[in-house]
Amino acid sequence: MTLYIKNMVCDRCILMVKQQLDQLGLNVEAISLGKVTVSPDPDLLKLKQVSEALQVLGFELIDKEKNQLIEQIKTQVIEIVHYSDLSAMQQSLMNLIAQKLNKDYVYLSRLFSDNEGITIEKYIIHQKIEKVKELLEYGELNLNEIAWQMGYSSSAHLSTQFKAVTGMPPSKYKIQPSADRKPLDQLN
C-alpha cells in the first residue's frame, strides 16, 4: 500500500517517518519525499495508529486523491528547487512537474490554485526565494553565482523577485540573515 504523507520535505523527514513506521511493525518497501510504500497493507486500526504517530512528528497522512496530488506537486517543486541544478534545466519547471506526475499542466495548475489559493508559479518562486535566502546566509556565493545556480536570467531579475517576495533587496537580507526564513512545508 502506498501512503502519502504531508510535510515530508527533507532527508531527515524520510528517516523519521521510516523509523516511526518500523516501530509500528510496517515494512517500508520504498520511501521518498511525501510517499511511502509499506507492507503488509495496514488495516483501519493500524492506519489510525500511523496517522497519530506521524502527527506527533508534524506529519499528516493524506487520504483524498486530489490532496495527494497537491502534495505530490509540492514535493516535486521542493525536490527540483532545493535538490537539483536549476542552471542545467532544459525545460520549464511547470512542464517538468507535469511530466513527472504524468498529468496535464493546466489540470494541475487549476487544482493547485483552487486548493492552495496560490498558483504553482508563485509557489515555485517562494521556494526559490527561500533557497536564495539559505545561499545568502552561507555567504559562499555572490549574487551573480546564486542567480545562475537558481536558474535566473540575471542577478537583477533575482533581486527584483527577491524584493517582491521579502520586501527587501538581497543585499539588505544578507546583512540581517534569518530575519525571514520559513520552513519549506510552511511556504505558500
pLDDT tens-digit profile of 2-29? Answer: 999 988 888 899 999 999 999 999 999 9
How many Å apart are CA 65 and CA 68, to the nearest integer? 5
How many Å apart are CA 51 and CA 107, to the nearest integer? 29
What fold is seen in the domain 2-63?
Alpha-Beta Plaits (3.30.70)
For the chain, give every domain's residue range: 2-63, 64-188
**This prediction's pTM:** 0.70
What fold is seen in the domain 64-188?
Arc Repressor Mutant, subunit A (1.10.10)
Q: Note the pLDDT tens digit of each residue in 111-162.
A: 999 889 999 999 999 999 999 999 998 889 999 999 999 999 999 999 999 9
How many Å apart are CA 76 and CA 117, to the nearest integer? 18
How many Å apart are CA 25 and CA 102, to the nearest integer? 32
